Amino acid sequence: MSKESGLGWTTFSVDNAAGSAKDIRNDCTSLNFATPRGVQDITGLDKSAFERLLLLADFTCEAGGVFNDAADRAHPVLSTASSSNTIRTVSIVVSGQTLTNECVLTDYSMARPQSGELTFSAPFSLADGTVPTWS
């Protein structure tokens, strides 16, 4: 086992509204993702420290990047967020480790600050109740 950087990702693909996976790695400049679990506090009055139960698993992801409206790139893939109820397959592969989830794309926001860049942010949330699992 060796430590690695987050450089040179193998895969970050997202289904377009038609359900076809599109590689949008080149347009993305940042990616935040998490596989959190819910927690229930079950601490009794007889305890001096917390007792907890793990509950449901989840997956969230937020991609950020640079506007690109070429065919099959980030803008055409993500801009249908407001008009499509399509479940999107989100696939992440880094260093041979794969995390794939069925997600809803809940927003596609863009920003153009005074400095002139045109960037996007796109949040995804788990859609199908399948426990997120690295393989």
pTM of the complete model: 0.88
Distance CA 82, CA 115 (A): 27
Measuring CA to CA, which residue among 6, 35, 39 is closest to residue 134?
A: 35
Domain hosting residue 77, numbered range: 11-126
Question: Is 133 within the bounds of a domain?
Answer: no
Question: Is 135 within the bounds of a domain?
Answer: no
In CATH, what number is assigned to the domain containing residue 49? 2.40.30
DSSP 5: -
Does 6 have pLDDT greater than 90? no
Number of domains in the chain: 1
Question: Is 108 within the bounds of a domain?
Answer: yes
CB of 124 within 8 A of CB of 106?
Answer: yes
Question: Is 6 within the bounds of a domain?
Answer: no
Q: For residue 2, what pLDDT is reported?
A: 82
Task: List, for residues 24-50, the tens digit of each pLDDT value.
Answer: 999 999 999 999 999 999 999 999 999
Question: Is 46 within the bounds of a domain?
Answer: yes
Question: Is 121 within the bounds of a domain?
Answer: yes
Q: For residue 1, what pLDDT is reported?
A: 61
Measuring CA to CA, which residue among 59, 77, 70 is closest to residue 128?
A: 59
Question: Is 134 within the bounds of a domain?
Answer: no
